[in-house]
Structure 1
Amino acid sequence: MSERVDEKILDFINESEKREAKKDICKGPVKIGERYYEFEEKDFFDKKLKIWIPNDFEEMSEEARKFKYPSENRPEIIKCNEDGSIVITLNIIDSPLDEECVGELKDGMKMIIRKTNPSNVFYDDGIIEVNSKNIGFFEFKSSAIDDYIYNLMFFLEFEGKTLMGTFSCIHNECKEWRDVVFQIIRNIKENNKSKMS
């Protein structure tokens, strides 16, 4: 009996330590897995969009891009860690989008991905309001050659067009990254708008 109580206490302590370790990406280093990442707000699309990403993420090499995204319409921006196992992409799709249709777009994209690969496992989806903008998202697990991949896709209206972003990492690391990815999404800013205080 007391052994089980001890285990519960240990679990509680471990959980609170984990929560304590999850800090704000905008305020200093964040421990993810076994290492600390320093995030910085970077400008994209002629400085019209600001997104916080790890400061050591580099532009993916042309060779790796062609391998990972064989289709010619691969994302415009592909930032990744050293070995390319953690990737953030951003792409403007020349397709008009307005605020009210973000949910519809999210559902449509989810359906396409489900049809394209029925073995994908879908998790959460929804709409987050960020700076009075709707950002639609969904999460799913896909299989790669030798592992499973955690994917999160998100969509928002950007200058009347569709901005699509993705985050992916090895599936067994997604518990460590998931909270961070949502922080990234919640801190997306457009530069061309005057900020409301």
Structure 2
Amino acid sequence: MNYMDEHILSLKNKLNHDAASNNVNTNLSQADVPGQDNSVAEQNRVLRMGDELIPLEWKTILDGQVAVSIPKLFSLMPLEQAKFKYPSEHRPQVIYTSLEGTVNITFNSTESALEVDELPEFVEQMADVLRSVQPVRNWIGTEMIMNPYGLSIGMIRFVAAGVDTNLYNEMLLFVHEGQVTMGTFNCMESDMEAWLPVAENTVQSLHIVPSPSDSTFEKGVAFL
């Protein structure tokens, strides 16, 4: 078994517990985060969804090390609700959910060491794992991008069977401090087209928060 295979198997064990779920949470930091580039920050304050304008706000997550722009009406899922939806102790660390609880944005740091140039191969191996553990109804594919903040992100998109309905899933994989961080966006397949702008905004706004000596970012208050 090679070095990367060991990390894939470690993540596979976690994914096996989450196969039919679509939510999460534990601890997290959050705050309004000014962007390194004010013009980019301004673009992430409002998002158009059809005829609606959706207010957005910056959040810092994973001990204040990563920032992302999400809909302002999304909130952290209460821990008890997260435990119900994700009974396994392998549940992700952070979840933001819509008012109805049907659209979710989650993040989870891992202990899988990886170099940035190894990410494309890792994404393809993760895609193989997902096809083996998820009840996939429609495999959309994988993609590597570099977002406006210079963050390399691997994306895996597919539709899987949920408890009551099919779910659209978008997994995001990136490297921070030499380790893999995973994000997910999911919603009901029937709502997929309406919510894709939010998924795209998540990908485009993700970035590593510079240290205080490098920027004006402020670490948020921890939610326990």
Instruction: Say whether the fold is shared (TM-score over 0.5).
Output: yes
Q: Deviations over 1:61-83 (max 9, x none)?
A: 22321232222111000110122
Equivalence for 1:76: 93
Quick check: 1:156 aligned with 2:174?
A: yes
Alignment of 1:59-74 (within 5 A): 59-74=76-91
Alignment of 1:38-187 (within 5 A): 38-130=55-147, 131-187=149-205
Unmatched runs of 5 consecutive residues or more in structure 1:
1-23
Residue type at the aligned position of 1:64: Q
Quick check: 1:32 aligned with 2:49?
A: yes
Unmatched runs of 5 consecutive residues or more in structure 2:
1-40, 216-224
**CA offset at residue 34 of structure 1?**
7.0
- CA change 1:46–1:145 in 2 (3 A) is closer
Name whichever of 128-137 and 32-41 sits farther off.
32-41
Alignment of 1:18-29 (within 5 A): 26-29=43-46
- CA distance in 1 between counterparts of 2:51 and 2:196 reads 15
- CA distance in 2 between counterparts of 1:146 and 1:74 reads 20
Hey, which of these two has a bigger chunk of helix by percent? Answer: 1
**CA offset at residue 50 of structure 1?**
0.9
Please give the TM-score of this superposition, normalised by the length of structure 2: 0.70
Q: Per the alignment, in what secondary structure is the counterpart of residue 113 of structure 2?
A: coil
Residue type at the aligned position of 2:75: E
Residue type at the aligned position of 1:137: M
- CA distance in 1 between counterparts of 2:132 and 2:76 reads 30
- CA change 1:115–1:27 in 2 (3 A) is closer
Query: Does the CA contact (< 8 Å) of 2:151 and 2:206 recur in 1?
Result: no
Q: Per the alignment, in what secondary structure is the counterpart of residue 118 of structure 2?
A: helix
Identical residues among aligned pairs (%): 27
Q: Deviations over 1:9-51 (max 9, x none)?
A: xxxxxxxxxxxxxxx9835433436754211111112322110
- CA distance in 1 between counterparts of 2:210 and 2:111 reads 19
Please give the TM-score of this superposition, normalised by the length of structure 1: 0.79
Provide the aligned C-alpha RMSD in A: 2.1
- CA distance in 1 between counterparts of 2:124 and 2:177 reads 21
- CA change 1:109–1:27 in 2 (3 A) is closer
**CA offset at residue 118 of structure 1?**
4.8
Q: Per the alignment, in what secondary structure is the counterpart of residue 38 of structure 1?
A: strand
Q: Which structure is richer in relative contact order (CA contacts within 8 A, separation 6 or more)?
A: 2
Residue type at the aligned position of 1:164: M
